[in-house]
Structure 1
Amino acid sequence: MVEIIRSVYRGIYYPTSRGIHMKPEIKERIEAINRGEIPRGYKRTRAGIIPSDWEIKRIGEISNIFRGASPRPINDPKWFDESSSIGWVRISDVTKSTKILRETEQYLSQDGISKSRLVEKGNIIMSICATVGKPIITGFDVCIHDGFVVFENPKVNKDFLFYYLLKLEDTWKKYGQTGSQMNLNTDIVGNELIPLPNVEDEQQKIADILSTWDKAIELKEKLIEQKKEQKKGLMQRLLTGKVRLPGFDGKWIKLKIKDLIKEVNDRTTQNNQYEVLSVTKNGIVPQREQFNKQIASEDNTGYKIVRRNNLVFSTMNLWMGSLDVLTTHDVGIVSPAYKVFEFIEQNINPLFGKYFMLSDYMIRIYKMNSEQGASIVRRNLDMDGLLNTIVSVPPVEEQREIFKVLQSADDELTLLCSELEALKQQKRGLMQLLLSGKVRVKC
């Protein structure tokens, strides 16, 4: 697999002292096509400029397209059977899969199957509502509801069709936008144009190359999950004292949480004094990144100031682990609804404190001090109860060493995630080049 990736890249790029560069002849061809010029060996078509020996077809000409069906009412338990082998596909099953759908959360009974559309293993299905345009290949027999279509008996290489549908994902998304007057349906999908290599071997070679990247991505994702589990186990052992680092064997100190953190209430005195931040389960992020826009009130004067190494959380969502320590900014601001704390450094190192406050051990304590509120998600935090809860912490010197071990695990995860993103970016680039014929493969 690694050699295939290297071979493909050697065919398109070449190394220099300044980095990796695209081969001049390929770069010139792509630039010419992007300018609307027709290079030798290419032609202009309804779908753009493609190789002369390729053809243009509508998707409906190369595959039968059928919409799924749903048993009604959908919540009736008689439609479902956990012992069944026929999966009931929902969009959540598809979005967490890469190329092959290997399992579903629910399975249909015989009654449910009779009211839906059965799709055999190995067929391509695609979502046409909510998260639209997400294709997947079924890894076992499933049933689909009317929010999916299935592509049956394609006259082209199945994997090539899958990747072209994946390339169209952004095109389909406009049909799922709020306020859109159109829904994605079999007619719209069937009328979409697809450029096709006339030679089946070329279709297969393109699909094989992209499949190689998918396999590399899948392996990297599995490795990341393994490393996350290893880090989780490491945190559970190190942050509770079940495993001690070499050179440390003294007793841990029992302290109330209020001896570890102290609330701070510094406020802004002018609008937009610092960047507005939000606290999510994934940490502290700029509000504009979380919502793709600024949603804070027009005047954020009086917002709470958060400084580097401050702990921030929402009292209503703390039990879910919605908290973090600010390490990405020197200073920012959050809504007055948040609580902001500084660590009492004589008792707890702030860098260690981030791992400690986010540990499963502490999440259990947050849950114990949170009562059911007006909704299932939001709970009322007993702040006094939390601050007076007694916990065990290691001496500060041991805290520093524990932090180094956990930070090393985080650094490894960061590197793996950047490698994963690079693979995904490479695949996106290859899809644009190979599926348009701008770069040809040798058959």
Structure 2
Amino acid sequence: MKMGYNQTTIGEIPKDWEVINLGKASPGVIGILAGYAFSSKYFNEKEGIPLIRIRDLGKNSTEALYNGPFEDEYLVSPGEILISMDGEFKAYVWRGPKGLLNQRVLKVWSKNEEYLDNLYLYYAIQKPLRIIELQVGQTTVKHLSTKHFDRITIPLPPIEEQRRIAEVLSGVDDAIRRVDLAIAKTERLKKGLMQKLLTEGIGHKEFKETKIGKIPKTWKIVRIKHIASVKEGIYGKRGEKGIIQLKADSILDNGKINSNAYALITVNHRIDEYLLRPGDILLSNRNSANLVGKCAIFRGEFSECVFSNLLTRLRVHSKDIIPEWLLYVLMKMWHDGFFKSLSTRAVNQALLRKGLVERLRVPIPPVSEQQKIAEILSYVNKKFDLERMRKEKLVRIKKGLMGDLLTGRRRVKVAM
């Protein structure tokens, strides 16, 4: 055992730390309040006080207002800790306006902030909540109750160290929120540019009405079957050996291939016609309604690979179009919900048949204009990817800090 540490029920912690059980420490140390089942007849969108439901956690606003009677104890102020009681047992700091605590949402708070810092409590309960979620999920429908707090034991450093730990972790959370805002801003920019550039082009003043809407007068409209070959993928037996097969979850939202998501398959016939080449576009042909039509471009991530029967390959063969242009047109269709509306529905599935894909009409500008537009959208995509990578790095940093600071493996300096 490390010098200066004690072995406890939650592992080794510094000798000057305590261990407290939140269920047994309440009501003297923490307050626990489950939300109230407010009558839906008072719900509306125009007047009243914000009603905080599970779906609102993690946001800064609510979807519904409540304009009926309530008890003051169910009021929630900005900065208070809320926990979702169904599905994912996760703690949140409420950052929206003052609102009402609805059913299936739990509020917890420190009753003595000279003993237990409220923000430290928020960070300390996250791991125990996750453990309870995993335990409950093995036996029944996931549902958290106040009785589960008898299972929550947390380490308790001296109060000044609690505050310093919370300060460090909240600093990382602030950085993550700033990156989230930048990501959202770039996403809006990307969607706006796609809408404008893929329908209006660059510098056009004359337009014409077509079957797919208004486009520049000099643009053409063609069906996909006239500019690209369309082929559905291959089924194979999966195992630990074989050829790499890209799947539906190999396709990322940004039009790229996730090279970490693939299967290995063996097949009993020739695969030449299913091998991918750089520039091939893969489109999800069978998926949930929101994901069907999601697409990405293959850029040679693997030297040899095929694609699943749940994907459709589009291989451009016309000199009048570049693959990147077709990719962005298809991505816009997916973002706009076009494929969702066009698909054939089955139980929990939506299907895009090969013939339907071949008959799709797409706008075709001059190749030089396609290239300019693709470059602009590619630049915004790269900016988006960099911001997302920055967030992933911050999340990893936070995870490491929580593992170190909340166990005392790494001590923070406290001003004397």
User: TM-score interval w.r.t. the shorter chain?
Assistant: 0.7 to 0.9
| Alignment pair present for 1:402 and 2:373 | yes
SS at match of 1:125: strand
| Contact 1:91 1:131 survives alignment (8 Å) | no
2:37 to 67, 70, 93: 70
- Judge conservation of contact 2:223–2:359 (CA < 8 Å) in 1: yes
Q: Choose which of 393, 396, 409 in structure 2 pairs with 1:438.
A: 409
> Which residue number in structure 2 is paired with residue 38 of structure 1?
2
Letter in 2 for 1:397: S
2:179 aligns with 220
Q: Identify the residue that residue 85 of structure 2 maps to in structure 1.
A: 128
Question: 2:221, 2:361 within 8 Å by CA — same for their partners in 1?
Answer: yes
The 5-angstrom pairing of residues 100-249 of structure 1 reads 101-110=59-68, 113=70, 117-137=74-94, 139-155=96-112, 156-177=116-137, 179-180=139-140, 183-198=143-158, 200-244=159-203
- After superposition, the C-alpha distances for 1:289-347 in whole angstroms (9 at most, x for unaligned) are 59xxx7x9x98768993624134232787886623134255533212x65433223312
The 3 A distance-change label for structure 1 pair 324 and 318 is farther
Post-superposition offset of 1:164: 0.9
Q: Name the SS of the counterpart of 2:295 in structure 1.
A: strand
Q: Is the 8 A contact 1:157 1:204 kept in 2?
A: yes
SS of alignment partner, residue 131 of structure 1: coil
8 Å Cα contact 2:89-2:130 kept in structure 1: no
CA contact (8 A) 2:234 2:308 kept: no
- Distance in structure 2 (CA, Å) of the matches to 1:398 and 1:122: 50
- The structural deviation recorded for 1:116 is 10
Deviation at 1:423, TM superposition (A): 0.8
CA distance in 1, matches of 2:72, 2:170: 34
Equivalent position SS for 1:407 = helix
Cα distance between partner residues in 2 of 1:54 and 1:393:
68
In the other structure, the counterpart of 2:210 is none
Measure the CA separation in 2 of the matches of 1:105 and 1:322: 29
Q: Is the 8 A contact 2:56 2:63 kept in 1?
A: yes
Structure 2 residue ranges without an equivalent (≥5): 205-215
Q: How does 1:318-329 map to 2 (within 5 A)?
A: 322-327=293-298, 328-329=301-302
Aligned residues: 384
Unmatched runs of 5 consecutive residues or more in structure 1: 1-36
Q: Residue 407 of structure 2 aligns to a residue in which SS? A: coil
Matched AA of 2:67: S
Question: Is it true that 1:264 corresponds to 2:264 in the alignment?
Answer: no
Over aligned residue pairs, what C-alpha RMSD do you find? 3.9
Deviates more, 1:263-272 or 1:59-68: 263-272
Deviation at 1:171, TM superposition (A): 1.6
Q: Would the aligned equivalents of 2:222 and 2:362 in 1 still touch at CA under 8 Å?
A: yes
- CA deviation profile, 1:88-140 (whole Å, cap 9, x unmatched): 3333322xx2xxx52122233315x4799544444312123211233333643
* Cα distance in structure 2, aligned partners of 1:108 and 1:281: 39
Are residues 1:87 and 2:20 paired?
no
Contact 1:120 1:140 in 2 (8 A): yes
Q: Secondary structure at the match of 2:13?
A: strand
Is 1:314 aligned to 2:285, yes or no?
yes
User: 1:164 is aligned with what amino acid?
Assistant: A
Q: If the length of structure 1 is used for normalisation, what is the TM-score?
A: 0.73
1:57 maps to: 20
Distance 1:84 1:436 in 2: 46
Question: Does the 8 Å CA contact 1:47/1:193 hold for their aligned counterparts?
Answer: yes
Q: Assess, with a 3 A threshold, how the Cα gap between structure 1 residues 262 and 194 changes in structure 2: closer, same or farther.
A: same
Q: Distance in 1 between matches of 2:73 and 2:195?
A: 45
- One-letter amino acid of the counterpart of residue 396, structure 1: V
Q: TM-score, normalised by structure 2?
A: 0.77
* AA at the equivalent of 1:43: N
> Aligned AA for 1:340?
R
State the AA in 1 paired with 2:13. Answer: I
Name the counterpart of 1:20.
none
